[in-house]
Structure 1
Amino acid sequence: SSRYGEDLGKQDALGNLIRELARTDGIEWVRVMYTYPTHISDSFLDAIAAEPKAVNYLDMPLQHASQNVLKLMKRGGNRKSLERLIERVRERVPGIAVRTTFITGFPGETEEDFQELMSFIKNVEFDRVGVFTYSDEEGTPAYELPNKVPHRTAARRRTALMKEQSRISKRRNRKRIGEVVRVLFEGESKESELLWQGRMETQAPDIDGCVLINDVPEELLPAEGDFVNVEITEAHEYDLIGRIVLV
Structure 2
Amino acid sequence: AAAGGRGRRALPVIQVSETPSYIYDHDAPRVRIGARHSAYVKIAEGCDRPCAFCIIPKLRGPQRSRSIDDVVAEARGLVADGARELNLIAQDLTRYGWDLGSDPATRPTLAGLLRGLGTVDGARWIRLHYTFPSAFDDELIDVIASEPSVCKYVDVPLQHIDDGMLKTMRRGHSSKVTWDLIRRLRARIDDVVIRTTFIVGHPGETDDAFERLYDFVGEARMEHVGVFTYSIEPGTVAAMLPHRVDPEVAEERRARLVELQRGISRARGEAMVGRDLEVLVEGISEESDLLLEGRWYGQAPGIDGVVYLADGTARPGDLVRARVTQAADYDLAASLDI
1:70-219 matched pairs, under 5 angstroms:
70-216=166-312
- What does 1:59-74 align with in structure 2 at a 5 Å threshold? 59-74=155-170
Unpaired stretches in structure 1, ≥5 consecutive residues = none
Counterpart amino acid of residue 129 in structure 1: V
CA distance in 2, matches of 1:138, 1:76: 22
User: C-alpha offsets along residues 83-138 of structure 1, whole Å, 9 cap, x if unaligned?
Assistant: 12100111111210000000000000000000000011111100000000001122
Do residues 231 (structure 1) and 231 (structure 2) align? Answer: no
Give 1:41 deviation, angstroms. Answer: 1.2
8 Å CA contact 1:22–1:29 kept in 2: the answer is no
For residues 40 and 101 of structure 1, the distance between their equivalents in structure 2, rounded to whole angstroms, comes to 17
Counterparts of 2:333 and 2:273, CA distance in 1 = 9
Distance 2:173 2:234 in 1: 26
Q: Which amino acid aligns with 1:225?
A: G
Q: Which of the two has greater helix per residue?
A: 1
Deviations 1:66-89 (A, max 9, x none): 011111100123333311210011
Q: Distance in 2 between matches of 1:106 and 1:191?
A: 37
Gapped runs of 5+ residues in structure 2?
A: 1-92
Q: Aligned equivalents of 1:26 and 1:96: distance in 2?
A: 22
The CA deviation at 1:11 is 4.7
Post-superposition shift, 1:2?
1.1
Q: Residue 184 of structure 1 aligns to a residue in which SS?
A: strand
Distance 2:276 2:190 in 1: 17
Instruction: Report if the CA contact (8 A) 1:180-1:232 is conserved.
Output: yes
Given that residues 182 and 230 in structure 1 are in contact (C-alpha distance below 8 angstroms), is that contact kept between their aligned partners in structure 2? yes
Count residues with an aligned counterpart.
Answer: 242
> What is the alpha-carbon distance in structure 2 between the residues aligned to residue 78 and residue 188 of structure 1?
44
Higher relative CO (Cα under 8 Å, sequence separation at least 6) belongs to 1
Code of the aligned partner of 2:150:
A
Letter in 2 for 1:46: D
Letter in 2 for 1:224: P
- TM-score, normalization by structure 2: 0.70
Q: Counterpart of 1:56 in structure 2: which amino acid?
A: K
2:337 paired with 1:241: no
Contact 1:12 1:43 in 2 (8 A): no
**What CA distance in whole angstroms lies between the structure 1 residues aligned with 2:156 and 2:143?**
17
Q: Contact 1:79 / 1:120 at 8 angstroms: preserved in 2?
A: no
Shift of 1:227: 0.5
Shift of 1:12: 6.2
Distance 1:46 1:74 in 2: 28
174 and 11 in structure 1: CA distance in 2 versus 1, 3 angstrom threshold: farther
Contact between 2:154 and 2:195, CA under 8 Å: does it hold in 1? Answer: yes
Instruction: Please say if residues 181 and 230 of structure 1, whose CA atoms lie closer than 8 Å, have aligned partners that are also in contact.
Output: yes
Q: Aligned equivalents of 1:233 and 1:223: distance in 2?
A: 21
Structure possessing the higher radius of gyration over alpha carbons: 2
What residue is the counterpart of 1:20 in the other structure? 116
CA distance in 1, matches of 2:98, 2:287: 42
Please give the secondary structure, in 2, of the residue aligned with 1:75: coil
Distance change in 2, residues 1:84/1:228 (3 Å): same
Q: Does the 8 A contact of 2:278 with 2:296 survive in 1?
A: yes
Shift of 1:181: 0.5
